[in-house]
Amino acid sequence: KAGVTQTPRYLIKTRGQQVTLSCSPISGHRSVSWYQQTPGQGLQFLFEYFSETQRNKGNFPGRFSGRQFSNSRSEMNVSTLELGDSALYLCASSLTGPYNEQFFGPGTRLTVL
Amino acid sequence: DQQVKQNSPSLSVQEGRISILNCDYTNSMFDYFLWYKKYPAEGPTFLISISSIKDKNEDGRFTVFLNKSAKHLSLHIVPSQPGDSAVYFCAASAAIQGAQKLVFGQGTRLTINP
């Protein structure tokens, strides 16, 4: 069974630009969650999508948005990038939701210059 | 407001000895707790979990203990092996105000020395 894949793996952008990250969950998993990992803050929950609907949301500004397609693939968009958005963005999939075991992808390393 | 805290950013343990990783939480509504392990350049992988109705859960070399009165959980690894060197995250979940909440700690870097 293929694992969770994320593209691209690395990305360099400049302030003010926007970026779209992609996540393909494990086949059959309907829940996709996104996290931001920074050295000082650890893993912070961005949002969760289940069957194309955003089901839960963390405490991030509206510049962070996402969507999920009918095949459960998900995209995350960050608009008007700031230096502080530099982080590892992780996506995780699960059958029912992130509150039990979930499977993480390798992450996308975003650097904002 | 850090609701889940791992106060030790790093821990060094000799191979074969016990590794104890600690995690404290502040919200008594958390009712399910998980531990994840993360190697560099990889996503976290699930290790073990525990429901708030239990105080201990064991899986091979890994045991998680939950002390609800102290709002504290710990992960014990016995015996520690070099492959256990990684960053360990604890996480807590709860249904709060109609939404499911999942909060991770900042992580503890465990180094197993030969």
Question: A99 vs B32: CB contact, 8 Å cut-off?
Answer: yes
Per-residue pLDDT tens for B73-82? 999 999 999 9
Nearest CA to A51 out of A35, A28, A34 is that of: A28
Q: How many Cβ pairs closer than 8 A exist between chain A and B?
A: 58
pLDDT higher than 80, residue B2: no
Nearest CA to A110 out of A54, A47, A34 is that of: A34
Q: Of B42, B93, B105, which has the smallest distance from its Cβ to A99's Cβ? A: B93
Q: How far apart are CA A91 and CA A88, in angstroms?
A: 10
Structure tokens at B14: 């000799």
Contact status of A26 with chain B (Cβ, < 8 Å):
no
The predicted pLDDT at position B1 comes to 61
Termini Cα distance of chain A: 37
The predicted pLDDT at position A3 comes to 93
The predicted pLDDT at position A96 comes to 82
The predicted pLDDT at position A58 comes to 87
Classify residue A24 by its DSSP letter.
E
pLDDT higher than 80, residue B47: yes
The predicted pLDDT at position A42 comes to 81
Mean pLDDT computed over A57-82? 95
Q: How confident is residue A1, by pLDDT bands cut at 50, 70 and 90?
A: low
Mean pLDDT computed over B90-106? 84
Per-residue pLDDT tens for A89-112? 999 999 888 777 889 999 999 999
Best of A37, A48, A108, A109 to substitute, by most chain B Cβ atoms within 10 angstroms, is A37
Contact status of A69 with chain B (Cβ, < 8 Å):
no
Question: B43 vs A41: CB contact, 8 Å cut-off?
Answer: no
The predicted pLDDT at position A29 comes to 93
Count Cα atoms within 13 angstroms, Cβ side, for A44: 18
Per-residue pLDDT tens for A26-50? 999 999 999 999 877 788 999 999 9
| Average pLDDT score over chain A | 93
Question: A55 vs B102: CB contact, 8 Å cut-off?
Answer: no
- Closest chain A CA to residue B39: A106
In contact, A95 and A31? CB cutoff 8 Å = yes
Structure tokens at B43: 């996503």
Query: Is residue A19 within a helix (H) or strand (E), and if so which, with residue range?
Result: strand A19-24
Angle at A15 (CA atoms; ends A12, A16), nearest 5 degrees: 120
| DSSP-based three-state secondary structure for B82 | helix
Contact status of B1 with chain A (Cβ, < 8 Å):
no
* Distances from the Cα of A105 to the Cα of A19, A101, B37, angstroms: 18, 13, 13
Residues present in chain B in total: 114
Measured between beta carbons, the chain A residues lying within 8 angstroms of B49 are: 100-101
* Distances from the Cα of B66 to the Cα of A20, A30, A33, A42, B75, angstroms: 39, 30, 26, 21, 9
In contact, B34 and B90? CB cutoff 8 Å = yes
Mean pLDDT computed over A3-27? 97
For residues B94 and B100, the model is more confident at: B94
